[in-house]
Structure 1
Amino acid sequence: MSVPQDHQNTTAAPRSSSYYASLKLSIAETINADPHPDCGGSEMKVFMDYARFMGSQNPHPFRTMSALVGSTGLSETTITKARNVLVSLGYMIERGMSEGVKKYELSNPPNAVARSKKSATARSREFQSRKTAKTKMRKEMKAAKADPLP
């Protein structure tokens, strides 16, 4: 009989600190590139504060509200909204409590990666379109200079 993955008693070795550093950077880059209108500077500040405390000894970081206010410089209301946005977009997943404070798993959800790649592709197309328009306008101006009106 097969035991579901989440119910298996596994003793996996802790991941290396380079794994967590790479994961944090990858998620931060995705958040930064996310075109979602609610994903901005305050969300990045809150994410980075949690990320500073994620590592092999603590894969599910937790931060008190007072610690978040002190380290981010944001108000409690802004932090709560930013954290809710990060949870709703899948960047943070609630993983229980520790010392009366919610713990979160930091995640790079596939739909967010797709959103940021799609956005990057759209920005690239927009850049190419503007570049083509500028080139066309320069050619037209050059042709107008070479062929003065009678």
Structure 2
Amino acid sequence: MSSSDTVTPSRPASRAKPLAAEARARPKTRRGDLFAAACPSRQILNHVTGRWGSLVLVALLEGTLRFSELRRRIDGVSERMLAQALQDLELDGFVSRHAHPVMPPRVDYTLTPMGYEIGLHVRELADWVEGNLPRIQRHRAAG
């Protein structure tokens, strides 16, 4: 087979050019194997998209919050699960924790620049889900 005979996967014509342009615009970086059990990206993805991590990120897009404010904002989260989500996001570099030397203890949480960036993506996903909720519910009811 000559180079002019190479086979490429077919895409709808309307999507072919934007995907190609997007691929050229992105820097060439080596990606991990997200589908491999040992890939570190998997753990971070879980922290960001997990039940409580995603809600923490979206809540902190509004600004700095104390632990108790976050707990009230995220209905249904236990103290233990919120603490774990915050710890994971802090270790990943998405959340900054500031403990004030006062009595009673006061701890503030805020997004780092990287946390703000990923938080915007998570909020976009959440907005899509909420915007399509009637459609999703109709599908579930029909299923």
TM-score normalised by structure 1 residue count: 0.38
- Bigger Rg, which one: 1
TM-score normalised by structure 2 residue count: 0.40
Higher relative contact order, chain-length normalized (CA < 8 Å, sep 6+)? 1
